[in-house]
Amino acid sequence: MKGGRGMAKGSQDFKTGVTAALADAALQKALQNVKRGFVVKREAAKAKLPEFDTLREEARAIKDHTLSHLDLYLEAYERKVTESGGEVHYAPGAAEARAIVLKLCKEAGAKLVTKGKSMVSEEIGLNTPLQAAKIEVVETDLGEYIVQLRGERPSHIIAPVIHLTKEAIEADFRRAHQRLPRERRLDQAQYLMAEARTLLREKFLAADVGITGANLLIAETGSSVIVTNEGNGDLTSTLPRMHIVIASIEKIVPTLEDATTILRLLARSATGQEITTYTTFATGPRRDGDADGPAAYHVVLLDNGRSEMLGNEFADMLRCIRCGACLNHCPVYGAIGGHAYGSIYPGPMGAVLTPQLVGIDHARDLPNASSFCGRCEEVCPMDIPLPDMMRAWRERDFARGNPPLSERLLLRLWAYAAKRPGLYHALASTVALYMARRAGARGRLSRLPLLKAWMKARDLPAPQGKTFHKLYARGQRGKRR
């Protein structure tokens, strides 16, 4: 796997990535599955729960309350984890988090580490230092396993291989599992899953340490919660001698009831299930008299920019529960997939979070890759104003002088005119007239000076000769009569 995974690619890379994604026929075919699956299923699940919108308001209030008391809930949580025999470690940044996990794995004498799916682990690039220390690291979620075989990153926060067709995965399995008979069938998802199940069983049973993420942390009980369908997270957290949970600080909620309200929204928003097959609450290591479970339990709490967000205009983003609904409903994500973003977190939530993680100078294209259609905010179960926050990043980007000179000049010209209504109306009338003339009887424009590149894939309907202001003024006069 590649190192330095926290970094987004530069601007040129983003544009190249988009162009490549749009031209990639297999990717375009695979992306159709997002709409057929997630979007339709979420709609159906929401329709079956009349209380959905009420729960959404309550969930928002729970998170807002928790975040405004975050220090105290973390203290309460830590106390409970310690009471139950576990240990909490704080990591101000990604490097500290990696160092803590590596140290724990070494202390446990780990040769083999199994992992449940964790975006925080992706965020901090956890696998690389473990592998450098000669520890075998195996991703066990089917999607993550495939991504690991390919040396890629997940392209979606809950469906890591949504960018792949089953034919591509078959090819990966044939390449990676050469000991198996060549004539075996792998042309259906079920055969691919069965093969992964058999191979990963050995890993689950031999693992020394299991690392999972957490969808929620509960202050009342000191529990970490994982939400899964495959059962790999549970084999990871139950079989090895040590269970390490890695989670960011904003995952905390006060009580089991609060967790319940959020769980009622999570699966429905993510996969359109009423609830995932497995929702697991882990609290400390195995108890006296327990027949199984890990002997040691550690939680690594990652800050990595979250505490800064608490106090800035991106605080609402900390309510995010990583359901992926904003990705699934985003026309930009739907067109280019997750990899083109070049960041760990793609789509609208990624466009807001990534600049915080890597700096706006390194991620300025992400908040700009949006048409502001507003679907993301509409479907967000935590009511996060994603478009507003993307706009806030654009403002910061502009203030730092990042946009190219031509863009900045045009914006300044526009601002100059917009502040002078007489000039603005005169200019608008002239341009409208020019465009109407130029379009002629066809009523459409396929080329305009200064906008050559933008018009390459678009036609513009021509103005009807009068500006909106003039039509509006006329309407008002009509009303008065």
Partner 1 sequence: MSPADDARATVFARIRAALGVASLDRARRAAVARRLERHPRGTIPARAKQSREACVTLLTEMLSAQGADLRRVHTPKEAVGAIASYLGTCNLPPRLRMGKDPMLATLPWREAWDIERSFGPAGPGDRASLSRAVVAAAETGTLFLVSGIDNPTTLNFLPEAHTVLIAASDIVGSYEEAWDRLRAIYGQGSLPRTVNLISGPSRTADIEQTIVRGAHGPRRLHVLILG
Residues 301-340 that bind partner 1 (CB under 8 A): 301, 303, 307-312
For tokens 């992306």, the residue is 31
The binder of partner 1 chosen from 44, 174, 281, 416 (CB under 8 A): 281
> Among the candidate windows 5-13, 20-28, 290-298, 450-458, which touches partner 1 by CB under 8 A?
290-298
**Contact stretch for partner 1 (CB under 8 A) within 60-68, 319-327, 442-450, 451-459:** 60-68
Residue type, 404: P
Report d(CA 249, CA 304) in Å as an integer. Answer: 9
CB 55 to partner 1: min, Å: 6
- Tell me if 275 contacts partner 1 by CB under 8 A: yes
- Binder among 23, 25, 291, 405 for partner 1 (CB under 8 A): 291
d(C-alpha 306, C-alpha 345), whole Å? 15
Per CB under 8 A, 171 contacts partner 1:
no
End-to-end CA distance of the chain: 72
CB of 405 to partner 1, least distance (A): 35
* Residue 292 near partner 1 by CB under 8 A: yes
Residue 62 makes contact with partner 1 by CB under 8 A = yes
Q: Is 278 in the site for partner 1 (CB under 8 A)?
A: yes
**Contact characters 221-260, partner 1, x per CB under 8 A:** x-x-----xxxx-xx-xxx---------x----xxxxx-x
In angstroms, what is the minimal distance from the CB of 291 to partner 1? 4
C-beta of 321 vs 369, nearer to partner 1: 321
Size of site (CB under 8 A) for partner 1: 106
Structure tokens of 251? 């995952």
Compare residues 295 and 473 and give the one whose CB is closer to partner 1. Answer: 295
Cα separation, 165 vs 398, in Å, equals 39
Asked if 214 interacts with partner 1 (CB under 8 A), we say: no
Binding mask 360-399 for partner 1 (x = CB under 8 A): ----------------------------------------
